[in-house]
Amino acid sequence: MVLKTIPALQSDYQMQDYEKLVAEFDWKEAEKAFSWYETGKVNIAHEAVDRHAESFRKNKVALYYKDGNRNETYTFGDLKKYSNKAANVLKNCSTLEKGDRIFVFMPRSPELYFALLGALKIGAIVGPLFEAFMEGAVYDRLDDSDAKAIVTTPELVDRIPVDRLPNLETVFVVGDGVTEEGKVISFNKHFEKASKEFEVEWLERESPTLLHYTSGSTGKPKGVLHVQEAMVQQLQTAKWVLDLREEDVFWCTADPGWVTGTAYGIFGPLLAGTTNLVVGGRFSTEAWYGAVEEFGVSVWYSAPTAFRMLMGAGAAAMEGHDLSSLRHILSVGEPLNPEVVRWGMETFNMRIHDTWWMTETGAQMICNFGSMPLKPGSMGKPVPGIEAAIVDDKGNILPPNRMGNLALKKGWPAMMRAIWNNPEKYDSYFLNDEWYVSGDSAYMDEDGYFFFQGRVDDVIMTSGERVGPFEIESKLLEHPAIVEAGVIGKPDPVRGEIIKAFIALQEGVEPTDELKEEIRQFVKKELAGHAAPREIEFKDKLPKTRSGKIMRRVLKAWELDLPTGDLSTMED
Ligand code: ATP
Ligand code: MG
């Protein structure tokens, strides 16, 4: 079944003239939205929080927080006050200075946001860490970046190997009754007493802000360094892609441990003065639909893995929930299968808009805008101001419909400025000093829509054909028995590689040989003979990163009996 193009929405007022913007837009235009455009004094926390707190948005809700028995509301005025207090605590109880690395290692909570924004106010470089990291993962990141301080909770503090981190001077612990000894400082004790006034550290556009370690889907996570100027693109895409408006309630489900959770869980929407929802705890269908209803979420940014889980839970899970507040849904992190887009249309009568970008790009790059027709299976077109192309290994631009390296013309505002401690790695991303090469393989059709095919390393060469795993995985998902699928190439003396599919079945479905054959025939008939998996293995679960990405390198390592490499970002 081929899904037809879904027509443009009328509602996307910002982007009605995409072609004109592409021809005329200049990032210099977007800079005018910031106070530093006039003053020259730069700090992203000022632009995201203080500026609104000093405007008509002072009493507007900046943050709703819900987790278990906590249900709290903070205005922009509150956020200014509490991030100032946090800044005072961090500054007064440590030797942290501008440019020093501080990590934030805690579950999603208002305190995480206060600490992160406070750290930015003192000009430190913030490394967000996902709460599920164990000791080895925490050590690697703190050691690699020579961290001076960390903010954590009583539950997580034991995972910080202070003895092995001689340069780690201060461990701030957020919680009640924390005993101060050694490097440990009670965050709450000082927070209560701290002044709510703080003189923000003024910086330059090129001053570093965040050090984000990548998801580790393809190998050891890399420390990607971002700078203040990223805010230009984060705000512009919040307007264009997220389509945020004054009255919206925006929910980005990503944890700040990943780049989506900072760029769009914090900065984009706050820079735009938007009300944000943060929901703590783990994914559950009931909690998620419940949160949309309770807070009247209108714009929702999530990931294919979450949509697939909601899809698997079926219509019954939605019963009794009024989801009519939703008007715009977006996805990131993994290819958005056409099957999920179809489900979105059927379930919400709404298009799910794909957005493609990476930790290294710092902000959205290729997206489906509301104002353009949507081709299911395509991630859309470049954000105006961004030049994307499919290039060969020498940097030559390939014609439409040819699979190759997805590349971006170097120099967009949110582009990473370094890989920490690894200049060779940083340089290796660039070709002829012109193109940033993403490591993803894709093609562009004659209408300028980009189609993701897989990681370059995951592309399968079988009997002389290049096949991207994504297309096969998406086809497999259309089979009613299948919940999730991961496809790899397995070396084969005759065919180069053969296609092997790892499949998780719907609950209650019997994993039989007949079913394998049926699935094989299904792909053969619906996609292509050479794309049908020769080998199929049923699994209860597929190995995934904590941000929900299928780890094909782990499937491959299992299959070929190779070392699995760094597993710090893999979910339990
Ligand atoms: P690592 O670089 O450590 O291996 P990672 O690449 O998964 O991990 P991220 O920067 O979080 O780390 O993810 C970026 C990658 O996610 C992209 O290169 C792409 O492969 C995938 N991705 C992101 N958005 C999309 C999308 N909309 N469609 C397809 N793939 C996507
Ligand atoms: Mg990557």
- Going from the C-alpha of 20 to that of each of 311, 356, 363, 384, 385, the distances in angstroms are 37, 22, 22, 9, 11
Residue 510 has pLDDT above 70, yes or no: yes
Rounded Cα gap, residues 106 and 256, in angstroms: 10
Which ligand does the CA of 219 lie closest to? 1
pLDDT at position 400: 98
Residue 238 has pLDDT above 80, yes or no: yes
Average confidence (pLDDT) over 263-283:
96
Q: How confident is the model at residue 86 (pLDDT cuts 50, 70, 90)?
A: very high
pLDDT at position 1: 40
Q: What is the pLDDT of residues 337-366, one digit of tens each?
A: 999 999 999 999 999 999 999 999 999 999
Q: What is the pLDDT of residues 13-62, one digit of tens each?
A: 678 889 999 999 999 999 999 999 999 999 999 999 999 999 999 999 99
Residue nearest to atom 23 of ligand 1 (CA): 333
**Chain centroid, CA 191 distance in Å:** 30
pLDDT at position 360: 98
Token pair for 457: 């390393």
Q: How confident is the model at residue 312 (pLDDT cuts 50, 70, 90)?
A: confident
Of 440, 453, 571, the residue with max ligand 1 atoms within 8 A of its CB, to mutate for a pocket test, comes to 440
Q: Name the least confident of 169-173, 233-237, 305-309.
A: 305-309
DSSP state of 218: S
Residues in the ligand 1 pocket, defined by CB under 6 Å: 214-219, 221, 258, 332-336, 354-356, 358-359, 379, 438-440, 452, 455, 549
Mean pLDDT, all residues of the chain = 95
Residue 2 has pLDDT above 80, yes or no: no
pLDDT at position 132: 87
Instruction: Tell me, in angstroms, the distance from the centre of ligand 1 to residue 547's CA.
Output: 10
Please state the pTM of the whole predicted model.
0.93
- The answer to whether 530 and 524 are in contact (CB under 8 A) is no
Instruction: Tell me, in angstroms, the distance from the centre of ligand 1 to residue 322's CA.
Output: 33
Element (H, E) at 328: strand 328-331
Token pair for 281: 């705890």
Of residues 181 and 217, the one with the higher pLDDT is 181
Of 241, 334, 550, the residue with max ligand 1 atoms within 8 A of its CB, to mutate for a pocket test, comes to 334
Task: Please identify, by atom number, the ligand 1 atom nearest to the C-alpha of residue 359.
Answer: 10
DSSP state of 334: S
Task: Please identify, by atom number, the ligand 1 atom nearest to the C-alpha of residue 224.
Answer: 10
Task: Please identify, by atom number, the ligand 1 atom nearest to the C-alpha of residue 569.
Answer: 3
Note the helical H segments in 326-484: 338-348, 423-428, 469-477
Q: What is the DSSP string of 10-69?
A: S--GGGTTHHHHHHH--HHHHHTTSTHHHH--B-HHIIIIIHHHTTTTTTSEEEEEEETT
Token pair for 433: 């000093």
3-state secondary structure 130-188: CCCCCHHHHHHHHHHHCCCEEEECCCCHHHCCHHHCCCCCEEEECCCCCCCCCCEEEHH
